[in-house]
Amino acid sequence: MLSDICFEYYESVDSTNDRIKERAHQGADQGLVISAGTQTAGKGRIGRKWESPTQDSISTSILLRPEELPIQSVATITIIAAMAVRAALKKSCDLQPVIKWPNDIVIDGKKICGILTEMEMKDSKVWYVTCGIGVNVHNRDFPEDIAFKATSVDLELEKLNRTESGSRKTITTAIWESFREYYNIFLKTGDLTGLKEEYEKHLANRGERVRIEAQADSYEATALGITDRGELIVDVDGEKRIISTGEVSVRGIYGYI
């Protein structure tokens, strides 16, 4: 069970995930959160870079030590982090994000956050996990390749004619408080049994047509919900199919999400 959370903040680090890894090797307790104003070598999924050179975004990572968790359940922690970011943006900024399966947080059709979960094993068991979250808060400009599908807290508040700007500290605290709540529910079963209903409430394109794009195949379906393991359930011409994460991309048939 995750109880205490211990927050540390640095002006600049290479990657908050890498700082957590270093501390994990030194024996730090689970619940350590490292956040930074900027990252000089932020990491994205599948070996991509995650740029956070200005003091505009949140870069934050947690150390977890889920000793009894089977290795195949570790990926679900990313889904839990997505749920926590959604809840935190609602609670601290009154924004209404949705979750684009499996773990993109989207507002008004644009992505506001990225999550990278990494782990190391020892003696064939999960030794530690670091879950790192990047949220765009004050950002106004994005790299050219993602500009069409990226947004930030401040840009979304402006669209609602709200004059305040997001507080990185308040949002970060809210993220990890929500994360603790969801993570402890997850640990009881090691899957999403206790969280599925909450996840599905916020699932983008639920009940709507989506396009499933796998490497060999591309087809339309209706998104129905998720399984306890976080797979997407879709209906294809009256037949239910289960879609696993991996190299599959699911899009609404209108626009990015």
Find the length of the chain.
257
Residue 92 C-beta: closest distance to ligand BTN, Å: 18
Q: Which residue in the set 80, 93, 107, 115 belongs to the binding site for ligand BTN (CB under 6 A)?
A: 115
Q: Is 37 in the site for ligand BTN (CB under 6 A)?
A: no
Between 156 and 234, name the residue whose CB sits nearer to ligand BTN. Answer: 156
Is residue 190 left, alpha or beta, with left meaning phi > 0 and alpha meaning psi from -120 to 50?
Answer: left
Q: Which stretch binds ligand BTN (CB under 6 A): 68-76, 130-138, 229-237, 246-254?
A: 130-138
Q: What count of other Cβ atoms lies within 10 Å of the Cβ of residue 137? A: 22
Q: Is 45 in the site for ligand BTN (CB under 6 A)?
A: yes
Q: Which stretch binds ligand BTN (CB under 6 A): 85-93, 126-134, 216-224, 241-249?
A: 126-134
Q: Is 169 in the site for ligand BTN (CB under 6 A)?
A: no
According to DSSP H, which parts of the chain are helical?
Answer: 16-25, 76-93, 153-159, 168-189, 196-201
Structure tokens at 181: 């709540």
Q: Is 136 in the site for ligand BTN (CB under 6 A)?
A: no
Q: Is 43 in the site for ligand BTN (CB under 6 A)?
A: yes
Q: Which residue in the set 66, 97, 134, 166 belongs to the binding site for ligand BTN (CB under 6 A)?
A: 134
Q: Is 102 in the site for ligand BTN (CB under 6 A)?
A: no
Q: Is 107 in the site for ligand BTN (CB under 6 A)?
A: no
Q: Which stretch binds ligand BTN (CB under 6 A): 15-23, 153-161, 177-185, 210-218?
A: 15-23
Phi, psi values for residue 98, rounded to 5°: -120, 165
Q: Is 117 in the site for ligand BTN (CB under 6 A)?
A: no
Residue 213 C-beta: closest distance to ligand BTN, Å: 18
Residue 53 C-beta: closest distance to ligand BTN, Å: 12
Q: Is 50 in the site for ligand BTN (CB under 6 A)?
A: yes
> How, if at all, do strands 239-243 and 125-136 pair?
unpaired
Residue 79 C-beta: closest distance to ligand BTN, Å: 14
- In angstroms, the CA 158 to CA 113 distance is 18
Q: Is 151 in the site for ligand BTN (CB under 6 A)?
A: no
Between 139 and 221, name the residue whose CB sits nearer to ligand BTN. Answer: 139
- In angstroms, the CA 147 to CA 125 distance is 40
Quote the crossing angle between the two packed helices 168-189 and 76-93, to the nearest 10°: 140
Structure tokens at 131: 């879950």
Task: Name the β-bridge partners of 36.
Answer: 10, 59
> How many angstroms separate the Cα of 214 from the Cα of each of 24, 163, 195?
36, 42, 27
Q: Is 48 in the site for ligand BTN (CB under 6 A)?
A: yes
- In angstroms, the CA 210 to CA 254 distance is 9
Furthest-apart CA pair in the chain: how many Å?
Answer: 54
Interface ranges with ligand BTN (CB under 6 A): 15-17, 39, 42-45, 48, 50, 59-61, 114-116, 132-134
